Amino acid sequence: MSLLNLHLKVWRQNGSQPGHFQDIEAPEIPDHASFLEMMDIVNERLISKGEDPVAFDHDCREGICGMCSMQINGVPHGPEKATTTCQLHMRKFRTGDTIWIEPFRASAFPILKDLMVDRTAFDRIQQAGGFVTVRTGAPQDANALPIGKEVADAAMDAAECIGCGACVAACKNASAMLFVSAKAGQLNSLPQGQPEKDRRTLGMVRQMDKEGFGNCTNQYECEAACPKGISVRWITKLNRDYAIASVKEAFGNTPKVAGGGD
Amino acid sequence: MFKMKTSHMSAVFDSLSRFYASSIGKKFLVALTGLVLIGFVFGHMIGNLLIFVGKDAINEYGHMLQTALHGGGVWIARLGLLAAVGIHIVATIQLTRANRAARKDAYGQHKAQVSSKASHTMIWSGLTLLAFIVYHLLHFTVHAGNDYGTYHTTLHGETVHDVYRMVIAGFSWAPASIFYIIAMLLLSTHLSHGFSSLFQTLGVSTDKTEPLFKKLGYAFAGLVLVGNCSIPIAILFFHYGR
Ligand code: HEM
Ligand code: SF4
Ligand code: FES
């Protein structure tokens, strides 16, 4: 094990008050620590000095919950491909490095404190159609609904999205298209999702716009930053599904979509 | 009866305006109008290259455009292009503003990992193109501040506009030629991103076709650059037709 001496530039902010970068020295960080453990060590030291620890989001610390965030040296979840911040290790850094640590920045993700942002906009998008309505009564036989292997695999790929928001953070437009397309596309691919497909697509895209996310300029920074490697082909599908649903809404018999979800 | 009809009409209209109001809807129109403009840029370039075939070839082409459908053809094309350019510009400016509003506070550090410079400067290449389109129309269509409109020649015993002489005269003036070349450089950057991008927006790209669209886009951008710039370069620097 070797120890790293690091210079951190950490964003400090209280709610909607203006924030600033604070220079924090982080000497003697074990290189086998995870990035979040490094933050824990830094916070312990701040607390023992009587200073305010850095607020950051985390939960599972094993790359599955989507709570950890942070823009590390200009990239969401840091430099390692397909890796969440909690799974990023300090051995990826060199002693003497300066590390910029910022919150995910988007108007739709207001900063709560320091590195914590409010991502409930994602929940509201999910509530606008990101589900399959389950009716009460006897469930049908599990084998009664055959699903092709390729379809099931593709839906599983989309289902990998952990809702972390790195796609929004990476995008120059703070667009949520990769998240929305994964969530809508997962269900739109499956037979169970067909009855509500158009309603889901229209509802989720409209909620996405309402939350103030930007729009997609097809630069694919989201895919490059996504810790789960969600493909931009889901965005292709969302564009297609949305156009079809809009045409059906305009000229067909589909009833008008309300907000959805309630 | 009549009431029913208008309410259905307005339901269709409501849905269409909701489509335009949405981010994806606007992008769809940007892509469709972009495709129309790409088609125009290609046809326009092929037509202009007739200048290298000879004086009669380009004059005949110009005369054909002017007289198609008894002179109506050129106006149908103009109005169609005006609509395409208008929708493209209004939608892209609205989208760009929405994108800026979506991130009000800038990052201290923000690294682009995979996207091209061209894709980050679409609004600037686009706005320069807009200035170019206005200049180009004043220069060669409206003939503002020049007497190119009075150039005439005979073709198959008919008096026609002398397009050939106009183009040679137009590009003999260095500032005009240089502005054209700059505009074409920016058009090629615009197309290097826009060409493949439009297929993603229209929902047709696949993992197999995306690399193909990319290569086609670069090839098309290069072709338009070389093809269009060859004319002012030949005239200004190599004295073609002078
Ligand atoms: C000959 C003229 C033009 C052609 C051939 C052209 C072509 C295109 C194409 C194919 C796209 C891609 C559409 C998509 O991503 O779905 C595009 C996007 C765009 N164009 Fe144009 N365009 C032209 C003129 C203009 C002008 C005058 C503006 C001025 C505002 C402009 C601004 C934009 C912007 C901002 C985008 C969006 C870029 C993005 O999504 O990243 N374009 N254009
Ligand atoms: S698409 Fe990827 S980056 Fe976006 S929220 Fe889902 S897991 Fe995170
Ligand atoms: S803390 Fe759960 S994914 Fe990182």
Can you give the residue ranges of every domain in chain A?
3-113, 119-251
Contact call for residues A179 and A122 (beta carbons, < 8 A): yes
Query: What's the mean per-residue pLDDT of chain B?
Result: 95
Residue B10 lies in a domain: no
Residue B144 lies in a domain: yes
Predicted confidence band of residue A256 (pLDDT cuts 50, 70, 90):
low
Interchain pair B15, A213: CB under 8 A: no
Q: What is the mean pLDDT of residues A50-71?
A: 98
**Chain B residue numbers touching A214 (CB-CB < 8 A):** 23, 98-99, 101-103
Q: Which atom of ligand 2 is nearest to the CA of A76?
A: 3
- Answer whether residue A14 shows pLDDT above 90: yes
| Structure confidence by residue, pLDDT tens digits, B221-240 | 999 999 999 999 999 999 99
Q: What is the mean pLDDT of residues B168-185?
A: 97
One-letter amino acid of B60: E
What was the pLDDT predicted at A262? 41
Residue B208 lies in a domain: yes
Interchain pair B105, A105: CB under 8 A: yes
| Structure confidence by residue, pLDDT tens digits, A114-164 | 999 999 999 999 999 999 998 788 878 878 889 999 999 999 999 999 999
Query: What's the mean per-residue pLDDT of chain A?
Result: 95
Q: How many residues can be counted in chain A?
A: 262
B176's CB contacts (< 8 A; 6+ apart) are: B139, B170, B232
What was the pLDDT predicted at A47? 98
Q: Is B201 on the interface with A (CB under 8 A)?
A: yes
Residue B17 lies in a domain: no
Contact call for residues A231 and B115 (beta carbons, < 8 A): no
Comparing CB atoms, the residue among A214, A225, A233 nearest residue B98 is: A214
Residue B197 lies in a domain: yes
Residue B69 lies in a domain: yes
Is the CB–ligand 1 distance for residue B41 below 6 Å? Answer: yes
Interval between CA A162 and ligand 2 midpoint (Å): 6
Q: Which CATH class is domain A119-251?
A: mainly alpha
Which strand (E) or helix (H) includes residue A120? helix A120-127
Query: Total domain count for chain B?
Result: 1
Judge if A3-113 and A119-251 fold alike in CATH terms.
Answer: no
**Domain A3-113 CATH assignment equals 3.10.20.30:** yes
Predicted confidence band of residue B217 (pLDDT cuts 50, 70, 90):
very high
**Chain B residue numbers touching A241 (CB-CB < 8 A):** 203
Q: What percent of chain B has pLDDT over 90?
A: 93
- Answer whether residue B207 shows pLDDT above 80: yes
Q: How far is CA B79 from the centre of its chain?
A: 14
Residue nearest to atom 8 of ligand 1 (CA): B34
Question: Bridge-partner residues for A100, per DSSP?
Answer: A9
- Answer whether residue B2 shows pLDDT above 80: no
CA distance B85 to B36: 9
**Chain B residue numbers touching A73 (CB-CB < 8 A):** 109, 111
Euclidean distance between the first and the last CA atom of chain A, given in angstroms as a whole number: 54
- Answer whether residue B1 shows pLDDT above 90: no
- Answer whether residue B165 shows pLDDT above 50: yes
Residue B133 lies in a domain: yes
Question: Exposed/middle/buried for A85, CB within 10 Å: 0-12, 13-18, 19+?
Answer: buried
Is the CB–ligand 1 distance for residue B217 below 6 Å? Answer: no
ipTM of the complex: 0.93
Q: In 3D, which of A230, A151, A148, A138 has the Cα closest to residue A183?
A: A230
One-letter amino acid of B181: I
At CB < 8 A and 24+ separation, what contacts does A176-179 make?
A176/A108, A176/A121, A176/A122, A176/A125, A176/A208, A176/A211, A176/A213, A177/A208, A177/A213, A177/A215, A177/A216, A177/A222, A177/A235, A177/A238, A178/A222, A178/A223, A178/A226, A178/A230, A178/A232, A178/A234, A178/A235, A179/A122, A179/A125
- Answer whether residue A260 shows pLDDT above 50: no
Residue B36 lies in a domain: yes
Interval between CA A130 and ligand 2 midpoint (Å): 15
| Structure confidence by residue, pLDDT tens digits, A75-125 | 999 999 999 999 999 999 999 999 999 999 999 999 999 999 999 999 999
Predicted confidence band of residue A261 (pLDDT cuts 50, 70, 90):
very low
Range of the domain at B89: 25-99+115-236
Question: Bridge-partner residues for A22, per DSSP?
Answer: A10
Comparing CB atoms, the residue among A220, A241, A251 nearest residue B114 is: A220
Mutate to test the pocket of ligand 1, among B190, B205, B213, B214 (most ligand atoms within 8 A of CB): B190
What was the pLDDT predicted at B116? 97
Euclidean distance between the first and the last CA atom of chain B, given in angstroms as a whole number: 70
What was the pLDDT predicted at B7? 66
Comparing CB atoms, the residue among A75, A238, A246 nearest residue B25 is: A246
Interchain pair B203, A224: CB under 8 A: no
